[in-house]
Chain A
Amino acid sequence: DQQVKQNSPSLSVQEGRISILNCDYTNSMFDYFLWYKKYPAEGPTFLISISSIKDKNEDGRFTVFLNKSAKHLSLHIVPSQPGDSAVYFCAASAFVSGGGADGLTFGKGTHLIIQP
Chain B
Amino acid sequence: ETGVTQSPTHLIKTRGQQVTLRCSSQSGHNTVSWYQQALGQGPQFIFQYYREEENGRGNFPPRFSGLQFPNYSSELNVNALELDDSALYLCASSLGREVYGYTFGSGTRLTVV
Chain A interface residues toward B at CB < 8 A: 4, 6, 32, 34, 36, 41-46, 49, 89, 91, 93, 95, 99-109
Q: Does B48 contact A (CB under 8 A)?
A: yes
Q: Cβ of A100 and Cβ of B99 under 8 Å apart?
A: yes
Chain B interface residues toward A at CB < 8 A: 4, 33, 35, 40-45, 47-48, 55-56, 58, 90, 92, 97-100, 102-107
Tell me whether A32 and B33 are in contact in the complex, defined as CB-CB below 8 angstroms, given that A89-B42, A89-B43 are known contacts.
no
Separation in Å of the A24 CB from the closest CB of chain B?
A: 13
Closest to B47 in A: A103
Q: Cβ of B100 and Cβ of A101 under 8 Å apart?
A: no
Tell me whether A41 and B99 are in contact in the complex, defined as CB-CB below 8 angstroms, given that A104-B45, A108-B40 are known contacts.
no
Q: Cβ of B35 and Cβ of A42 under 8 Å apart?
A: no
Q: Cβ of B98 and Cβ of A100 under 8 Å apart?
A: yes
Residues of A near B44 (CB, < 8 A) are 106
Tell me whether A43 and B104 are in contact in the complex, defined as CB-CB below 8 angstroms, given that A32-B99, A99-B97 are known contacts.
yes
Q: Cβ of A95 and Cβ of B98 under 8 Å apart?
A: yes
Q: Which of A42, A103, A109 contacts B33 (CB 8 A)?
A: A103
Q: Cβ of A102 and Cβ of B56 under 8 Å apart?
A: yes
Question: Could you list 10 A-B pairs, sorted by A, with CB under 8 Å?
Answer: A89-B43, A99-B97, A101-B56, A101-B97, A102-B45, A103-B33, A103-B99, A104-B102, A106-B35, A109-B42
Q: Cβ of A107 and Cβ of B56 under 8 Å apart?
A: no
Q: Cβ of B48 and Cβ of A101 under 8 Å apart?
A: yes
Q: Cβ of A44 and Cβ of B45 under 8 Å apart?
A: no
